[in-house]
Chains A and B, each alone.
Chain A
Amino acid sequence: MKVLVPIKRVIDYNVKVRVKADNSNVDLANVKMAINPFCEIAVEEAVRLKEAGTATEIIAVSIGDKSCQEQLRTALALGADRAIQIETDQNLDSLHVAKLLQKVVEEEQPQLVILGKQSIDSDNNQTGQMLAALTGLPQGTFASVVKVDGDKVNVTREVDGGLQTVALNMPAIVTTDLRLNEPRYASLPNIMKAKRKPLDVKAASDFGIDLTPRSTLIKVTPPSERQAGIKVESVDELVEKLKNEAKVIS
């Protein structure tokens, strides 16, 4: 079966972002970028399905300007077979991303689409669910275990009270939680091989989708700064402060 893995280029998760002085957005100039951690887990899961003989082909897809080819090459080095870049300079809403991916799903007809549960920049947690709605497919979000069983896939989901397992008719959409797997590192020979794997570039404007923004970003501000407090010397002092100064315990 074919597996489609949409991935996103985002700021590296270790970088502490700075808000621009004019409050128009965060400053991404000269900041280290990487594949979104949840997307990396999605790639790893697809590769494991292929290694287990369940998946036959893995297609990685990313939407963005030319620079996202770097993340697609990473996915290829990790084990994806081919890649598609949908080129646009525009900052898209999740709904637009889902609509573009819907077209890719229609064309490629994958049995499984594995996405990250959220990107660590916009923190929306929407795209997988929207893609599932647009394609009319069932969804297994926040997955910590994915088991393909004939024409169904069993997904164990991380929910508020613990875990929930659902059975989905395939084709299906899965979004990954952090505990699904531990992504591997790309080896140097695989990085070299990835350079020769096919990478198709398509223009977002060719998909015939209205990409007019659905929202306006009015401003971006830094969060209110928390001041470092004091260090106490003893447990007695701590308890005393909590009782009498902070008044949070009685």
Chain B
Amino acid sequence: MSILVFAEHDNNELKADTLKTVAAAQAIGGDINILVAGANCSAVAEQAAKVNGVSKVLVADNAAYEHQLAENISLLVTELAGDYEHIIATALTTGKNFMPRVAALLDVAQISDIIGVESADTFVRPIYAGNAIATVQSLDSKKVITVRATAFDAVATDGNAEIVALDTVTDAGTSSHVSDELTESERPDLGAASVVISGGRGMQNGDNFKLLEGIADKLGAAIGASRAAVDAGFVPNDMQVGQTGKIVAPDLYIAVGISGAIQHLAGMKDSKIIVAINKDEEAPIFQVADYGIVADLFDVLPELEAKL
């Protein structure tokens, strides 16, 4: 059996989540190849060649793939699919965007966001915002799968795969990239951070998120937010943790002024340790928190920063 893993990258760097997605591929078992599709992405190909357990890195380096538009990438992956039983991508926005397109072009169903591998055709995935866990057996000949990276441990980077350049260019010509507006941050990536501190509606305004920064700096933490904080305009949407935002599972998750709605819990309840800081004793977040402190966050945060 052979498995094609789509590499997540920004044309310069291979995302650490790809190492976790390869771990899912190893759990399925088979010859693993990685596809690096982008423009001027040779550095990514070299990083991918070092990923443990990978035999070959296929590189499609062309302007058509620079922004990984779904229309173009899905055609490329579909063209390569003939050689593979499993086609796997990380369940991040790029993979979520093009993979269902690949599945439909191949006339197979897709299994989204798997958190476990039972066998080569049976997978485990959360449904209903993580309130139920489904075990699903695929009846299709090809398996098109996206992987929830936080559910797998990254593989080592001690490999030495062969790099093969592809000369295929698949440009659908129906869409084009206009602009990007990316959030600049010195902090660790939210999905990969070992500590996350998040603020909710209780933060009251965007300026107060600064109270989280000193703590985040001391703990090497990423800063997240609840939907309420994003909708109120306190912080940009890419900081949102939850069913419709990012899924995180850090060692330590600190929820500040977050009530703990079902949709927020869906994004963080697999964290190892959860701390809740909230002045409402009845807030549902306390039902999942390992350590809770019922107090005003405006008192707690400066004190916590000083004592770390």
Chain A interface residues toward B at CB < 8 A: 11, 13-14, 16-17, 19, 26, 93-95, 98, 117-118, 120-134, 136-142, 144, 154, 157-169, 177-179, 213-223, 226, 228-236, 238-239, 241-242, 246, 248-249
Sorting the interface of chain B by its residue count into under 10, 10 to 19, 20 to 34 or 35 or more gives 35 or more
Closest chain A residue to B301, Cβ basis? A235
From B126, B131, B244, B293, A232 is in contact (CB under 8 Å) with B293
A-B CB contact pairs (8 Å), 17 listed: A125-B112, A130-B103, A133-B102, A159-B93, A159-B238, A160-B191, A167-B178, A168-B174, A214-B108, A216-B139, A219-B135, A221-B135, A222-B132, A226-B269, A228-B288, A228-B289, A241-B291
Nearest first, the 4 closest Cβ-Cβ pairs linking A and B are A129-B100, A229-B290, A214-B109, A133-B104
Q: Which of B123-165 contact A (CB under 8 A)?
A: 126-140
How close is B20's CB to chain A, nearest CB, in angstroms? 15
Q: What residues of B have a CB within 8 angstroms of the CB of A164 in the complex?
A: 67, 177, 179-181
A137 CA / B99 CA spacing, docked (Å)? 15
How close is A32's CB to chain B, nearest CB, in angstroms? 14
Interface of A is mostly: mixed
Closest chain B residue to A239, Cβ basis? B307
Q: What residues of A have a CB within 8 angstroms of the CB of B130 in the complex?
A: 223
Are A94 and B109 neighbours in the complex by a CB distance under 8 Å?
yes
Known: A133-B100, A141-B97, A249-B195. 17 other contacts (CB 8 A): A13-B263, A14-B262, A26-B131, A123-B113, A160-B93, A163-B238, A165-B181, A167-B176, A167-B178, A178-B227, A178-B244, A215-B138, A216-B137, A220-B135, A231-B291, A242-B275, A246-B290
Interface of B is mostly: mixed
Stretch at the interface among B29-37, B51-59, B69-77, B204-212: B69-77
A-B contact count (CB 8 A): 258
A215-B136, A242-B252 are contacts. A166–B176 as well, Cβ < 8 Å? Answer: yes
Are B135 and A228 neighbours in the complex by a CB distance under 8 Å?
no
Are B128 and A11 neighbours in the complex by a CB distance under 8 Å?
yes
Q: Which of B173-212 contact A (CB under 8 A)?
A: 174-183, 191, 195
A214-B138, A235-B293 are contacts. A223–B104 as well, Cβ < 8 Å? Answer: no
In this complex, the member of A94, A98, A158, A159 whose beta carbon has the largest number of chain B beta carbons within 10 angstroms is A159
From A124, A213, A216, A231, B112 is in contact (CB under 8 Å) with A124
Chain B interface residues toward A at CB < 8 A: 10, 67, 69-71, 74, 92-94, 96-105, 107-113, 122, 126-140, 172, 174-183, 191, 195, 219, 227, 230-231, 236-238, 243-244, 246, 251-252, 262-263, 269, 272-275, 286-294, 300, 303-304, 307-308
Are B263 and A223 neighbours in the complex by a CB distance under 8 Å?
no
A157 CA / B94 CA spacing, docked (Å)? 11
Are B238 and A230 neighbours in the complex by a CB distance under 8 Å?
no
Are A133 and B74 neighbours in the complex by a CB distance under 8 Å?
yes
A125-B96, A162-B180, A177-B244 are contacts. A169–B175 as well, Cβ < 8 Å? Answer: yes
A129 CA / B96 CA spacing, docked (Å)? 9
Are A217 and B177 neighbours in the complex by a CB distance under 8 Å?
no
Are A16 and B307 neighbours in the complex by a CB distance under 8 Å?
no
In this complex, the member of B110, B177, B274 whose beta carbon has the largest number of chain A beta carbons within 10 angstroms is B110
How close is A99's CB to chain B, nearest CB, in angstroms? 8
A248 CA / B220 CA spacing, docked (Å)? 12
Are B103 and A95 neighbours in the complex by a CB distance under 8 Å?
yes
